[in-house]
Structure 1
Amino acid sequence: MKLVVLGLSLSSSWGNGHATTFRALLSAFAGRGHEILFLERDVPWYAGQRDLIDPAFCRLEFYDSVEALEDWRHEIETADAVMVGSYVPDGIAVGHHVQRTARGVTAFYDIDTPVTLAALREGRCDYLSAELIAGYDCYCSFTGGPTLDLLEWHYRSPMARALYCSVDASAYRPMDVPKKWDLSYLGTYSPDRQPTLEKLLIEPARLLPDRRFVVAGPQYPDDIDWPANVERIEHLAPRDHAAFYSASRYTLNVTRADMIEAGWSPSVRLFEAAACGTPIISDVWPGLNELLEPNREIIFAWNPEQVIVALHEDRADMGEAARRRILNQHISRNRAAELENWLQEAARMRTRDMAAAE
């Protein structure tokens, strides 16, 4: 299969989870014998922070405007499948261009589904429209559960399928490093995640001054009152993630408000931390208990006291149990097989519908 992907970023992991998600998925997809062209909008923010220039698993090219996609018309037109990702700059115009040009299957890969749908409801989504949803042959959604029915019945997607994030097991694994922190968190600043971070990490840090904490990720405001025992790391490259998790006795998973409301929205960090065998403390949302079993593979927390109790325990067994579960169900090789299945199913549906129209 020849696949063309127009995604937010493959070249830079700075301030986004898309790059590591695409890298894991597309590397495994290429491993199944497919050819991939990734087209990335050349923007200053990512251009100055690139940590992958020449991927071995696909061809990476840059374009500077929607009009410049004409230079790639032949590739888009002749591909077996063309997939547009969420948060792509001028994504609505890009989507219309793809749907007009592609002769093969068209798909939308939403790594932010609940945020996307909230923006659509409020009329402020600049990378997707209801018209485009109905026009894509397949909607691959970061979120499963009832959201898939909403996409098909309300937004008229011909085919909505869950395509969760995944983890590259060769890159995310336990490492033999000293434990530096009792509790860590890795994630870009988000206003709707910050109250949970305050409650489940910053407040425990204030109450446990002899314990060590760390928050890694960019864009945190200067006015946050970090306790003295909370270390800050501005940016952590993907190559350093496994060592970061392995140096943590526990790590915290914090979920955006729209994703908590929708449920069934596991972040890539959840899979990556578990693959490293690090015990996870998480906020709670519908569907999480179907991914990891509470108190055996993950700890659910609603308040600082629950975090403090956990930090006084040694739950390496929990980290190992979560690692086994994730490696069995959520590695990138499994996800690439799912993507292949969804694209093939969409192609069959497209052929059937075209035959019926004749």
Structure 2
Amino acid sequence: MKHRPQIAFFGSSLVSAYWNGAATYYRGLIRALSERGYRTSFYEPDAFERQQHRDIADPTWARVVVYPATESGVSQALESARQADILVKASGVGVFDDWLEREILNLRAPNRTVLFWDVDAPATLERVQRNPNDPFRVLIPRYDMILTYGGGTPVVEAYRTLGARDCVPVYNALDPAIHYPVSPAPRFAATLGFLGNRLPDRETRVHEFFFGPAARVPEARFLLGGNGWECGAPDFPNVRYLGHVYAHDHNAFNCSSRMVLNINRSSMARFGYSPATRIFEAAGAGACIVTDAWEGIEQFLEPEREILVAHSGDDVVRYLETISEERSRVIGAAAMRRVIAQHTYAHRAALVHRILNGSPASGSWSNTPSLRSKTEENAVPERYNASFNPYTGA
């Protein structure tokens, strides 16, 4: 591989998180890979008003190519990417996905690697398992490797059963340069905050873990951010709707509630081992996180010590009624130490670098260490000093 290997990455968007939950993941990984010497050109379509809702300008650590969401636009984009050493087709680009998944394979060569990077593996697998004629199904064995942002052993085994040469999870993580403790903002003050777009396969769980507790604990204040909640959502006097929350406000959001809620989509919860980006964002800000229960959480954060796990809305109510601000600060600080020690995008980029340079098959290593040494816990940048109080900013 060249000293400065070039990656052509086809994804939803690097510069906009608008209706695009993968933005944080892409930014963290590509920035960390840049620090390892990789040069990435990120190809994204001009679609879904994302360019009108940018969170960031074009970064210095990647070249952003915005192409027209047309057949000729995507064809020209793929043609311009053919000189790259590594080509990546991510899931959920949003336009011409089937075409890209097929045509990018025509650029495979002895000196060029073509990867499929699945940022929603549970949904992809459920789709192709339901439909034997799904056009992606027959393409799976042709990719050099499948990378996923979650799913663990169930996803790896499912992809291998479908003929994948190999499948390796590269989990979400924290970018400490982007997500960190800040002073709380009055506009985000709440007892419990949840930041997530309204999606069909999460709505029932949002009612269970967010709206149900809001109805049962009227004295608590609830904050809901994300797209799609403007129409038809429950109207409770103690719930405030924010709409889209830009990425630059996520730190303030996570530092201003006593607790921050994570709710996985149904497919992710069934497969497990799928920590959402919001978990690492909130942990990096020192937030006390309450997550819905899913298999594998203990590989990332320790329940009751670094994260609170709710098996039902009843558990959320119990936490609201029993977890003091003092204890929430202790839990948030413990989560912050853990992710800084083991779950940054620098850790994930090191794994990707090993994969691209021919490390052993995925089963022979682990990218989610479950044991923490005191040295690791104490190896925390000054910004993340355990005495930091995310509620006062001191």
TM-score (norm 2): 0.83
- Tell me, yes or no, if structure 1 residue 165 matches structure 2 residue 169: no
Paired position in structure 2 for 1:220: 229
Secondary structure, counterpart of 1:77 in structure 2: coil
User: Relative to 1, partners in 2 of residues 1:240 and 1:124: Cα closer, same or farther, differing over 3 Å?
Assistant: farther
- Tell me, yes or no, if structure 1 residue 245 matches structure 2 residue 245: no
- Tell me, yes or no, if structure 1 residue 266 matches structure 2 residue 275: yes
TM-score (norm 1): 0.91
How far did residue 226 of structure 1 move? 2.6
How far did residue 52 of structure 1 move? 2.6
CA offsets 1:68-116 (integer angstroms, 9 cap, x no match): 3443456432211011111122222112221102431000111100011
Q: How many residue pairs are counted as aligned between the two chains?
A: 347
Secondary structure, counterpart of 1:251 in structure 2: strand
Q: Distance in 1 between matches of 2:293 and 2:315?
A: 13
User: Could you tell me whether the CA contact under 8 Å between 1:37 and 1:59 is conserved in 2?
Assistant: yes
User: Relative to 1, partners in 2 of residues 1:73 and 1:230: Cα closer, same or farther, differing over 3 Å?
Assistant: closer
Residue from 275, 280, 291 that aligns with 2:289: 280
Give aligned-pair identity as a percent.
29
- Matched letter for residue 141 of structure 2: A
User: Relative to 1, partners in 2 of residues 1:66 and 1:227: Cα closer, same or farther, differing over 3 Å?
Assistant: same
Bigger mean CA offset, 103-112 vs 199-208: 199-208
Paired position in structure 1 for 2:131: 123
- Matched letter for residue 253 of structure 1: N
- Matched letter for residue 317 of structure 1: V
Residue from 131, 135, 144 that aligns with 2:152: 144
Q: Distance in 1 between matches of 2:247 and 2:336?
A: 18
- Matched letter for residue 351 of structure 2: E
Paired position in structure 1 for 2:118: 110
CA offsets 1:131-170 (integer angstroms, 9 cap, x no match): 2211110100122222112212x11111210111122111
User: Could you tell me whether the CA contact under 8 Å between 2:292 and 2:312 is conserved in 1?
Assistant: no
User: Could you tell me whether the CA contact under 8 Å between 1:138 and 1:342 is conserved in 2?
Assistant: no
How far did residue 324 of structure 1 move? 1.1
User: Could you tell me whether the CA contact under 8 Å between 1:25 and 1:336 is conserved in 2?
Assistant: yes
Q: Distance in 1 between matches of 2:48 and 2:289?
A: 35
Q: Distance in 2 between matches of 1:134 and 1:346?
A: 20
User: Could you tell me whether the CA contact under 8 Å between 2:185 and 2:252 is conserved in 1?
Assistant: no
Paired position in structure 2 for 1:234: 243
- Tell me, yes or no, if structure 1 residue 28 matches structure 2 residue 32: yes
Q: CA RMSD in A?
A: 2.2
Q: Distance in 1 between matches of 2:124 and 2:247?
A: 25
User: Could you tell me whether the CA contact under 8 Å between 2:193 and 2:260 is conserved in 1?
Assistant: yes
Q: How does 1:172-211 map to 2 (within 5 A)?
A: 172-177=179-184, 180-211=189-220
How far did residue 288 of structure 1 move? 1.2
User: Relative to 1, partners in 2 of residues 1:39 and 1:311: Cα closer, same or farther, differing over 3 Å?
Assistant: same
- Tell me, yes or no, if structure 1 residue 99 matches structure 2 residue 112: no
Q: Structure 1: any 5+ residue segments left out of the alignment?
A: 349-358
